[in-house]
Every structure is written in C-alpha cells, then in structure tokens.
C-alpha cells in the first residue's frame, strides 16, 4: 500500500478554508443569534475538523477499514453526547431543591 501524495494545491485550499472558518467563528462570536449561537459555532468547528481528518490526516485516501474505524469512533462520541443530553433535556430545572417539609409530606 503506497502512501497517497496530496498536491500542495489541495493543502493550500484546505488551509484557506480553515482560516476562513476561523474568521467566520470570530465574526459569529460577536453577533447574537440567540439560541443558535452555539449551534453556529459548533457547526463551523465540525466542518473544520472534518476537513482536517479527511485531508490533513488522509482519511479520504485511506483504506475502507480505516474509514470504518473513524466512523465508529464518531458514532461512539455521538452515543456519549446523545445519552448525556437525553438526561439534560428531560431533567427538571426548577433551580432549587424541594424543601424538607415537601420531602417529609411525600
């Protein structure tokens, strides 16, 4: 299996995209999108990370099995995040604990 050679042009294009992404993140940080602040920041970061994995880490040119390993680990991360968020999104958020009398009455 020979190592895939990536042309400097592609590297440069990816580098420019990453820099643009960084610029967009900084710009977005100064805008108020309300609920979507974090969504936008994370979306840009995810696209950047994907580009790094695909091109700088050569995942795009790797054998299928390597790609499978990467997909599996992302899936694992998704399990961790989704099950954790499943707790956060459905837990009670009164912001205070029930008083002792309430507990005793129950």
Partner 1 sequence: MSTPPTPVRELPHKHYLNATYGAGLRSWLLTTDHKRIALLYLASVTVFFFIGGVLATMIRIHLLTPGGALVTPETYNKLFTMHGVAMIFFFLIPSIPAVFGNFLIPLMIGAKDLAFPKINLLSWYIYVIGGCFVLYSFGTGGLDTGWTFYTPLSSVYSNSAVTPAVLGIFINGFSSILTGLNFIVTIHTMRAPGMTWFRLPLFVWAHYATSLVMILGTPVVAITLLLAGLERMFHLGFFNPALGGDPILFQHLFWFYSHPAVYIMILPAMGVISEIIPTFARKPIFGYAFIAGSSIAIAVIGFLVWAHHMFVTGESTYAALTFSFLSYLVAIPSAVKVFNWTSTLYKGSISWDPPMIYALGFIGLFVIGGLTGLFLACLGLDIHIHDTYFVVAHFHYIMVGGAVMGYVGGLHFWWPKITGRLYPRALSRFAAVVLFIGFNLTFFPQFILGYLGMPRRYHTYPPEFQVLNVLSTAGASILALGYLLPMSYLTWSMRYGRVAGQNPWPATGLEWKTDSPPLTENFEVTPVVTWEPYDFKNRPDLGLATGTPLPAPALGDD
Interface residues with partner 1 (CB under 8 A) are 73, 76, 79-80, 83-84, 86-92
Q: With b meaning 16 or more CB within 10 Å and e meaning fewer, what string describes 11-33?
A: eeebeeebeebeebbeebeeeee
Take residue 2 and report the two structure tokens written for it: 């020979």
CB nearer to partner 1: pick between 50 and 73: 73
The nearest distance, CB 22 to partner 1, in angstroms, is 21
CB nearer to partner 1: pick between 19 and 86: 86
CB nearer to partner 1: pick between 7 and 89: 89
């Amino acid at each position: 299996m020979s190592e895939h050679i990536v042309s400097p042009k592609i590297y440069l294009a990816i580098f420019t995209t990453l820099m643009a992404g960084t610029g967009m993140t900084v710009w977005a940080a100064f805008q108020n999108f309300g609920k979507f602040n974090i969504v936008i920041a994370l979306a840009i970061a995810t696209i950047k990370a994907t580009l790094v994995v695909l091109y700088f880490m050569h995942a795009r040119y790797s054998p299928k099995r390597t790609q499978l390993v990467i997909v599996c680990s992302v899936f694992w991360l998704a399990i961790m995040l989704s099950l954790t968020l499943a707790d956060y999104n459905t837990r009670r958020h009164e912001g205070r604990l029930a008083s002792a009398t309430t507990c005793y009455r129950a």
